[in-house]
A and B are shown apart, each in its own frame.
Chain A
Amino acid sequence: NAGVTQTPKFQVLKTGQSMTLQCAQDMNHEYMSWYRQDPGMGLRLIHYSVGAGITDQGEVPNGYNVSRSTTEDFPLRLLSAAPSQTSVYFCASNPNLSTYGYTFGSGTRLTVV
C-alpha cells in the first residue's frame, strides 16, 4: 500500500516554462487536494477534487490547472512558471470522511529561476 505518491521530488524550472506535478493514490479515496507550503504561511489550498471529473479552486488557484480523469490521479499543471511559484507542493487525499483526516504525499520542492 503506497499511499499518496508524488513525482518528481525536486524540480528547477526557468520562468515561463510549464510542467506537471504528478500525484497518485492507491487507497480509492474520493477527495484529493493540492497545497503549497511557504515559510511562515502554513499550507494553502490550491485546488481540490471531490471525485473523478469534479474539481474546484482553493485559496490560491491562479497560475495552476488541475484535472481528475480517474480516482487515482490528480496532476497539477503550472502553465507558465513564475518565481512566486517557488514552493513545496503537497498532494493529499481523504476517503470522504470528515473524521478521517488527509493522507499526505512526501512533497515536490519546486524552484523557479
Chain B
Amino acid sequence: GNSVTQMEGPVTLSEEAFLTINCTYTATGYPSLFWYVQYPGEGLQLLLKATKADDKGSNKGFEATYRKETTSFHLEKGSVQVSDSAVYFCALMDSSYKLIFGSGTRLLVRP
C-alpha cells in the first residue's frame, strides 16, 4: 500500500544552519506530494507541494523536489530561523484523494 517515511527527530540546529528533512514514499502511480508544518498548539498548514516528477515546490525559503527515480521529496532550507521551530509532515495524496502522512519530524532551532 501507499506509505510515507520521514526521518525521525528531533532535529536540533543553530540559527542560520542548513536544514534537510528526508522523506521517501511508496505509492502506485505518481501521487501529488506535500509538506505541512504544525506550529505549537496549532493545526497543520500547507507549506509547499509538487504535483509531478521533477517539480520543485517552494515557500518561505523552504524547497522540495519531487524525485521519481528515488521516490523522495526531501525538505530543505538554506538558513533556518528560530521561528521555523515546528513539526514538519510529509504527505502524499493517493488516487482516492486521501492524504497519507509520515510520522512527522520535530525541528528545534536554537538562537
Q: A residues bordering B, Cβ < 8 Å?
A: 31, 33, 35, 40-45, 48, 50, 58, 90, 92, 94, 96, 98-99, 101-107
Contact = CB atoms under 8 A, between A and B. Distances in A.
Contact of B45 (A50, A99, A104): A104
Interface in B45-76: 45-46, 49, 51
Q: Chain B interface secondary structure, helix, strand, loop or mixed?
A: strand
Contacts of A103: 46
Interface of B: 31-32, 34, 36, 42-46, 49, 51, 89, 93, 97-104
Nearest to A90: B43
A40 B103 contact: yes
Contacts of A90: 43-44
Nearest to A58: B98
B103 A104 contact: no
Given A43-B89, A104-B44, A105-B43, A92 B97 contact: no
Contact of A31 (B49, B97, B101): B97
* Most chain A Cβ neighbours within 10 Å, of B89, B97, B103, B104: B97
B97 A94 contact: yes
Contacts of B89: 42-43
A48 B51 contact: no
Contacts of A42: 89, 101-104
Most buried by B among A33, A35, A98, A107: A98
A33 B44 contact: no
Contacts of A43: 44, 89, 99, 101
A42 B100 CA distance: 9
Contacts of B45: 104
A78 to B, nearest CB: 20
Contacts of B97: 31, 50, 94, 96, 98
Nearest to B9: A40
7 contacts: A33-B99, A42-B101, A90-B43, A90-B44, A99-B51, A101-B34, A105-B43
Contacts of A35: 101
